[in-house]
Amino acid sequence: MSEPVTLRLDRATRRRLDRLAKATERSRAALAADAVRQYLDLNEWQIAAIQAGVREANRGRLTDHGKLKAKWEKRLAGAVDGSR
């Protein structure tokens, strides 16, 4: 079951939402609900990943910057060489 929520949008955002609703033949409410779900999914994931990283750091499990940089430079070089 859904519950009503009221939000304020600036005029330009409201117009964009109206245009998208018309183009997709969906209601503004449905589009807004989808947008909120996507926002929550992304931000909850980011917060969980940050918290996991902090826990690892607090345990002393850190990655040496030089080693990480070398790993990615090697990977990038392989990708560039492989594309030729």
Structure pTM? 0.70
CB count in 10 Å sphere of residue 32:
15
pLDDT attached to residue 83? 61
pLDDT attached to residue 84? 53
SS3 63: coil
Closest CA to 18 of 7, 32, 8, 5: 32
Q: Under a CB-based contact definition with an 8 Å cutoff, are residues 47 and 40 in contact?
A: no
| Average pLDDT of the chain to the nearest whole number | 94
Give me the mean pLDDT over the 40-55 stretch. 98
pLDDT attached to residue 80? 82
